[in-house]
């Protein structure tokens, strides 16, 4: 599925540059609707899995929204929000979704705020846990996450998927029918109103581009300044999405291997040799997981570990170092990378990242791939990027307790203000072709091409991308048609 940028932010934030922003002309302070009671943030989760010390600059609150928008006077759920007030003359609020689906916007903005210091000079930076995520009625599945990530040897994967779906229904059956992106877009409009903004200014990354596109389709007249970075086109089938992403990760791995060899690589003297080294390690883990303390680095967990550093060029060295260590019998770093991907905390508990991702993904499509469909897909994955192939698997959506809808696939923002769409030529998770097609579907999209590597151009270290985006957000300066930025 679309991967959250949370891991990339945590691992690569130190390598991210921000351009100083010009101060815009001031506007009157936004009205306070009283819908959110802002107070100190007391439960923010740091990258080490521990609760962060409250900071005066960070404010948290909740907003009650309908559980079921077809019954607006029925049950409600509370959305968790975070706000960082503008440091200079204020233009309004800028709302973020960092991706997933399933990533916590509350935790991520707290960690990533320095990367958005430019927009933060003029906007209150705001993010939230979308419905079904962590603090916002997060989807829980009876402690089945560990088993889903690393099923017991010999266990029937279709049976495991069926048990996982049943556990989700038992724990979160009330919210499962209402966690899709269409409902989340309606939540966005409630957030806009609660913040006192006449229009929504929005920065969506990865899956956040899908959420923003759906919002712009449903509320085109409410679109303010919109940036959709690492764009995803939801009008692809499950199979097309998976294969396109596998091609993207295969290309990213080859780029990593070439870069590794150019700098003196512990994995081999040529890109082909480096790839063979990683493939050999993965094959060994199929037969014999690597013991790490009282846990095991399995083949499945190692797959998550290998692709995690491929999201950002700044984290490529971690892939070389962690694989080299595992070849010597130390799987600690690879397991830590896998944990960062799956949302596992140091105390052994999990965030709702993976369970929320599954629930939202199944809600957003009517497709229900069977075990046979998955097996056929895996045969193609084996040819494209064998590191990510599996011997047996199942589609969890095939057993999902609620029906999915294709409504979130309909994208047409006709009538909205112009929307800046950014696509990276070397993006492994949301390949460039999706940015091109999403721009066309929006009707009001303006495409900016980033020629470099990594998932998310604004966080790549490209001063060109940062200046282009900040000029739009702060001064309303639209990029020229065909705008492009070189690799950082």
465 in Cβ contact with 422 (< 8 Å) = yes
Q: Which helix (H) or strand (E) holds 319?
A: helix 316-327
Report which DSSP code applies to 42.
Answer: -
Strand pairing report for 484-485 and 39-40: unpaired
Interstrand relation of 290-292 and 295-297 (parallel, antiparallel or unpaired): antiparallel
Burial 156-169 (b: 16+ CB within 10 A, else e): ebbebbebbbbbbb
- The dihedral formed by the CA atoms of 472, 475, 479 and 485, expressed in degrees to the nearest 10: -70
Catalytic pick among 197, 361, 455, 470: 455
- Interatomic CA distance for residues 152 and 149, integer angstroms: 10
Coil, helix or strand at residue 289 = coil
Assess whether 330 carries a catalytic annotation.
no
Q: Rounded to an integer, what distance in angstroms lies between the CA atom of residue 141 and that of residue 163?
A: 10
The DSSP letter of residue 331 is -
206 is catalytic: yes
Q: Does 481 qualify as catalytic in the annotation?
A: no
Angle at 353 between CA 347 and CA 356, to 5 degrees: 130
3-state SS class at 409 = helix
Closest CA to 396 of 160, 42, 185: 160
Identify the active-site residue in 229, 233, 339, 427: 427
Determine which one of 121, 127, 136, 206 is catalytic.
206
From the CB of residue 152, how many other CB atoms can be counted at a distance below 10 Å?
8
CA–CA gap between residue 153 and residue 298 (Å, rounded): 10
CA 197 vs CA 28, 339, 410: distances in Å: 11, 38, 26
- How big is the chain, counted in residues? 488
Asked if 449 and 483 touch (Cβ cutoff 8 Å), the reply is yes
Q: Please, which residues bridge with residue 93 across strands?
A: 124
- Cite the active site residues: 206, 427, 455
């Amino acid at each position: 599925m679309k991967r959250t940028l949370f891991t990339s932010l945590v691992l690569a934030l130190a390598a991210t540059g921000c351009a100083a922003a010009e101060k815009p002309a001031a506007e009157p302070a936004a009205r306070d609707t009283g819908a959110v009671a802002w107070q100190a943030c007391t439960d923010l989760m740091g990258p080490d899995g521990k609760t962060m010390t409250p900071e005066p600059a960070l404010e948290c609150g909740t907003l009650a929204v309908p559980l079921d928008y077809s019954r607006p006077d029925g049950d409600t759920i509370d959305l968790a929000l975070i706000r960082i007030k503008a440091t200079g003359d204020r233009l309004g609020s800028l709302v973020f979704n960092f991706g997933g689906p399933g990533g916590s916007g509350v935790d991520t903005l707290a960690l990533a705020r320095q990367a958005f210091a430019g927009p933060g000079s003029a906007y209150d930076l705001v993010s939230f846990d979308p419905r079904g995520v962590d603090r916002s009625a997060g989807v829980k599945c009876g402690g089945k996450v560990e088993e889903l990530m690393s099923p017991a040897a010999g266990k029937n994967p279709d049976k495991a998927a069926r048990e996982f779906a049943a556990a989700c229904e038992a724990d979160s059956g009330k919210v499962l029918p209402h966690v899709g992106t269409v409902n989340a877009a309606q939540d966005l409009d409630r957030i806009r109103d609660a913040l006192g903004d006449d229009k929504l200014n929005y920065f969506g990354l990865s899956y956040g581009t899908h959420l923003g596109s759906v919002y712009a389709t449903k509320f085109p007249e409410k679109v303010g300044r919109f940036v959709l970075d690492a764009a995803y086109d939801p009008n692809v089938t499950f199979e097309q999405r998976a294969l396109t992403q596998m091609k993207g990760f295969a290309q990213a791995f080859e780029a990593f291997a070439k870069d590794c060899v150019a700098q003196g690589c512990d994995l081999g003297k040529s890109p082909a040799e480096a790839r063979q080294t990683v493939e050999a390690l993965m094959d060994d883990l199929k037969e014999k997981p690597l013991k790490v303390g009282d846990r095991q680095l399995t083949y499945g967990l190692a797959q998550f570990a290998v692709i995690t550093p491929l999201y950002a060029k700044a984290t490529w060295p971690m892939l070389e170092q962690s694989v080299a260590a595992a070849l010597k019998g130390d799987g600690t770093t690879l397991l830590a990378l896998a944990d960062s991907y799956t949302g596992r905390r140091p105390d052994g508990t999990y965030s709702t990242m993976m369970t929320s991702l599954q629930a939202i993904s199944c809600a957003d499509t009517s497709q229900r791939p069977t075990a046979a469909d998955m097996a056929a897909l895996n045969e193609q994955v084996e040819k494209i990027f064998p590191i990510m192939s599996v011997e047996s698997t199942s589609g969890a959506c095939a057993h999902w307790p609620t029906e999915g809808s294709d409504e979130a696939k309909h994208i047409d923002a006709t009538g909205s203000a112009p929307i800046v769409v950014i696509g990276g030529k070397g993006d492994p998770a949301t390949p460039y072709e999706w940015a091109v097609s999403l721009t066309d579907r929006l009707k009001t999209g303006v495409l900016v091409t980033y020629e470099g590597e990594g998932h998310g151009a604004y966080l790549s270290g490209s001063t060109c991308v940062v200046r282009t985006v900040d000029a739009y957000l702060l001064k309303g300066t639209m990029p020229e048609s065909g705008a492009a930025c070189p690799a950082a």
